[in-house]
Amino acid sequence: MDFDLTHEQRQILDYGDAIAQKFDRKYWMECAEKHLFPEALYQQVARDGFVGTMVPEQYGGAGQGMVEMHLFLEGLSNNGIPLLNLVVGATMSLGFIAKHGSEEQKKRYLPDACMGKTRFCFAITESDAGSNTIRTATIARERGNRFALSGSKTFITDADGSDYALVVARTTPHTEVQRKTDGFTLFVVDLKAKGVEKQYIAVSIPAPETQWQLFFDEVDLGPEDVVGEVDKGFGVLFKSLNPERILVASICCGLGRYALGRAVTYASERKVFNDVPIGAYQGVQHPLANARAGIEVASLMALKAAWVFDQHRDAGEFANMAKLVAADAGIAAVDAALQAHGGNGFTKEYGIFDLYPLVRLLKTAPLNREMILNYIGEHVMGLPRSY
């Protein structure tokens, strides 16, 4: 069992340190407070080949796996500059098309997306369904050899800046799904198409990517827009959600490290009593040390989940555990950093409290802690279904 990263993997992890020299936390926060997508950072990431990390080389990507994507996003987050679009776009959408799309779709969508010319978002959540995807009401009804998509999606990250959405829809009504093996289909939808509307959702969290509702009114789609097979998207869909959980863990671990790094610097310099840095006091030092241990444990689970995914094995157990422990560890790390900073932690100048809303969000989204515990209890431990 070798825990050492390869030279290339170490370079991917360290990329965040390098790009943060130009696009630092201050830049990220300026974008976040204005809800402006960090286009310059994103385009640099695209030029450096990281948007296409999980896309095969023949379609303009780097041909790497989930481990490398985890290390890349963790490296960005280590510097306080995570990009949520890289979860829903580069990984969940481009990775899905690269794995399940037709040859024509791969040639049509992947090269431009890898170069940063186009962006994707992922649309699954609905206001009346929440975590219960089975209740999805958005439906694509067959019209001859084509489809008419109607319904709505909510909390769609970066929908306004995206050119396309990978949309999860029913092609078999819910009342008839018992007669089918599945009933779900995934479509690539042009967000500028007739019948597509967007509505902004104001949230209290500073982040560059904004949240949107999407409305579909008889949007015309053809067989060329179907990713995978009609009526057989449910199984591959849920396996494809594991990368989302893994990368949420990557972000939480990275932001936790960033917060702790800031706290260590502050506590090593701040003196209040007897000309001794407050970091020498166990009451300050131990919470930071304990939080660091939690971050590293969570990071190892995320790395394991990514490795299992790359082995084409079911990563659900480890992906869910990684998301669970990383969200808690990230919150604990930011909280410890806040406490170490005292009143300064709540000021704009020090920028520590600004970290809290995002890590706290990731305890609830994209899948809440309670549903993850339900999954572990039922599917990992074999307990009776609880809901």
Residue at token pair 């991917």: 12
Structure tokens at 289: 């040390």
Structure-token match 């494809």, residue found? 240
pLDDT at 132: 76
Output the tens digit of pLDDT for each of the chain's 387 residues. 888 999 999 999 999 999 999 999 999 999 999 999 999 999 999 999 999 999 999 999 999 999 999 999 999 999 999 999 999 999 999 999 999 999 999 999 999 999 999 999 999 999 887 777 788 899 999 999 999 999 999 999 999 999 999 999 999 886 654 445 589 999 999 999 999 999 999 999 999 999 999 999 999 999 999 999 999 988 888 878 999 999 999 999 999 999 999 999 999 999 999 999 999 999 999 999 999 999 999 999 999 999 999 999 999 999 999 999 999 999 999 999 999 999 999 999 999 999 999 999 999 999 999 999 999 999 999 999 988
Residue count of the chain, please give it: 387
Q: What is the pLDDT, as a whole number, of residue 259?
A: 98
pLDDT of residue 175: 63
DSSP one-letter code for 39: H
Contacts of 99-106 with C-beta under 8 Å, sequence gap 24+, read: 99/240, 100/186, 100/227, 100/228, 100/236, 100/240, 101/227, 101/228, 102/224, 102/227, 104/224, 105/188, 105/224, 105/227, 106/56, 106/59
Evaluate the omega torsion of the peptide bond into residue 206 and state whether it is cis, within 30 degrees of 0.
no
pLDDT of residue 237: 84
Q: What pLDDT, on the 0 to 100 scale, is given for residue 176? A: 56
Q: Which two tokens stand for residue 380?
A: 């990992």
First to last CA, the chain: 38
Q: Which two structure tokens, joined as six digits, stand for 206?
A: 């500073």
C-alpha closest to that of 88 among 157, 29, 24:
157
pLDDT of residue 238: 80
- pTM for the model stands at 0.95
